[in-house]
Structure 1
């Protein structure tokens, strides 16, 4: 039996996924902590805490410690990590786990060392930090070790990371703070402006997942949306169509497309030639937005594919990297 475990953590704005070498993904929960304001004690972590979002009594707040893919509140991030590391019994008396954590590409060295500190305080022996699009590409099954160009668009909750990879590293990349959360906000704003109806984050997320669409006329479906009528103050229900979601999300999708073009413009021509041949891969939860792959494909004239199991690409990628730790060292 190996004394210390090796674990990979996809510390996302929306979800935290933990991969244990030899076991696979063992944790997949929302990155939310519910805190009692008065006593500053954590009441619930993960899924339980997410259930409380927008529904808590005065002194209980549900907090998401990660904003735009980076740690906004270190204390609460520590509570989040410690909770799962303890729950999984990863710390033995003689063994402390080796941890590989993923972060967005544009994070500063100060933020990197802060993430390291948090992981070490939670009991990690060695901490490696890797850039998300690189790990996502590996998790999507791309072989990035060869001298050929691969392009990934990793759309998470807080950030969209776009990167061109070759020879095991990032050649050109960009990170946008426009991703799942901003799309939810745009749906809330659209419904408020058009229907004078106020809805919560969780309802917006459900609308996005069920009928959210990036391409006009790509699907034809509708959903009932319940919220509070701003005029009467009473609960009210409207019907929203997928084409309306396209209108609400158009700005975000166009920004992502523009950024993809910009990264391609900075890519060396030999690698561009590879990308035309191999296509572009979308990973992360945003890959599930209906028609987004087709929209990007139309705009850049390069085949676009959705990775297999896009939500777990980063976590699976950490697993593959843990199998090959000698690369990291």
Structure 2
């Protein structure tokens, strides 16, 4: 039997197998020609975004909470063939993690699509639940456990107890808003527009939410909004902290409202036991400490926040008989 987990995020797709661990971790993108044929997928397709050829379209199967099943089918066809997930005389079982914003009918259609492609069985649950498993929380306890998942295009928080989600909330896109805030700050304060790749580098190298006494810096290039000329600028971690300040405050207020909506005993449990956080956005330096100072309760970050959902899938497929 082949056991595989699919972490179906809006920004990326990760596939993990029992035998080999993570076998695919790339952008959820596919490039197609005018006839609908697949030209590239994953990071290769992402690199083609913005090409001037009108016959080439680079698309994501999931956009604005909606699923394009035709595109997803083309992407799955390529992935499953590359990874050899369907083989003669072997049954393939999938465990699927999906964003909480996906409609129940879309989830069922997605499972049906996988079954028609050759899967023997398909199990599924939303990524906030799989995050709790990946964080190795014992959600069967009678006390409340709180999980915050801040991914690239999803931001969810939930309280678990006795193996159930007791309360849950969803906020606007997390990681995408980080890039949007930095883009806005550069335009307003440096009169500069930059590429998506430059924004990625800024987040990775200077991602910070609180000022530092000795901030790191980097040189970036972009297009001047004044004269459309190419210009270089030096920016620092403290610039990014200034750009992200209002967004972090908004996140903290949203989490605080969620905590206030809990039952008194649940609030007490979370104050005592803290919030376990994961998702790629939690890699921003100082974010967990900032949230902890504002919320007044411990905020813990999983060992590898960007891979917590994938870790949860690995745990689930290892438990299958």
- TM-score after normalising by structure 2: 0.92
The SS at the match of 1:170 is strand
The SS at the match of 1:215 is coil
1:20 to 17, 21, 30: 17
2:248 to 239, 253, 274: 253
Greater mean alpha carbon deviation, residues 300-309 or residues 255-264:
255-264
1:154-193 per-residue CA deviation (whole Å, 9 max, x = no partner) reads: 1111111111111222111111222111211221222122
Match of 1:76? 71
**Gaps (5+ residues) in structure 2?**
none
1:228-251 per-residue CA deviation (whole Å, 9 max, x = no partner) reads: 223322221111222222232233
How far off is 1:253 after superposition?
Answer: 2.0
Q: Does 1:225 align with 2:220?
A: yes
Q: CA RMSD in A?
A: 2.0
The SS at the match of 2:239 is helix
Match of 2:192? 197
Match of 2:48? 52
How far off is 1:293 after superposition?
Answer: 0.2
Q: Does 1:289 align with 2:280?
A: no
Quick one: structure 1 residues 287 and 56, their matched pair in 2 at CA, closer, same or farther if it must change by over 3 Å? Answer: farther
Size of the aligned set, in residue pairs, is 321
How far off is 1:201 after superposition?
Answer: 1.6
The SS at the match of 1:316 is helix
Q: Does 1:303 align with 2:301?
A: no
Q: Does structure 1 conserve the Cα–Cα contact (< 8 Å) formed by 2:8 and 2:99?
A: no
The SS at the match of 2:23 is strand
The SS at the match of 2:226 is coil
CA distance in 2, matches of 1:13, 1:258: 25
Q: Does 1:66 align with 2:62?
A: yes
Quick one: structure 1 residues 199 and 173, their matched pair in 2 at CA, closer, same or farther if it must change by over 3 Å? Answer: same
Match of 1:178? 173
Q: Does structure 2 conserve the Cα–Cα contact (< 8 Å) formed by 1:156 and 1:286?
A: yes
The 5-angstrom pairing of residues 1-329 of structure 1 reads: 4-36=1-33, 38-55=34-51, 57-67=53-63, 70-217=65-212, 220-325=215-320
The SS at the match of 2:75 is helix
CA distance in 2, matches of 1:219, 1:63: 41
Quick one: structure 1 residues 72 and 255, their matched pair in 2 at CA, closer, same or farther if it must change by over 3 Å? Answer: farther
Quick one: structure 1 residues 252 and 197, their matched pair in 2 at CA, closer, same or farther if it must change by over 3 Å? Answer: same
Quick one: structure 1 residues 250 and 149, their matched pair in 2 at CA, closer, same or farther if it must change by over 3 Å? Answer: same
The SS at the match of 1:244 is helix
Quick one: structure 1 residues 126 and 56, their matched pair in 2 at CA, closer, same or farther if it must change by over 3 Å? Answer: farther
1:8-30 per-residue CA deviation (whole Å, 9 max, x = no partner) reads: 11111222111112432221111
Q: Does structure 2 conserve the Cα–Cα contact (< 8 Å) formed by 1:71 and 1:115?
A: no
1:29-51 per-residue CA deviation (whole Å, 9 max, x = no partner) reads: 11111222x22221111121222
CA distance in 2, matches of 1:312, 1:291: 19
- TM-score after normalising by structure 1: 0.90
CA distance in 2, matches of 1:293, 1:51: 32
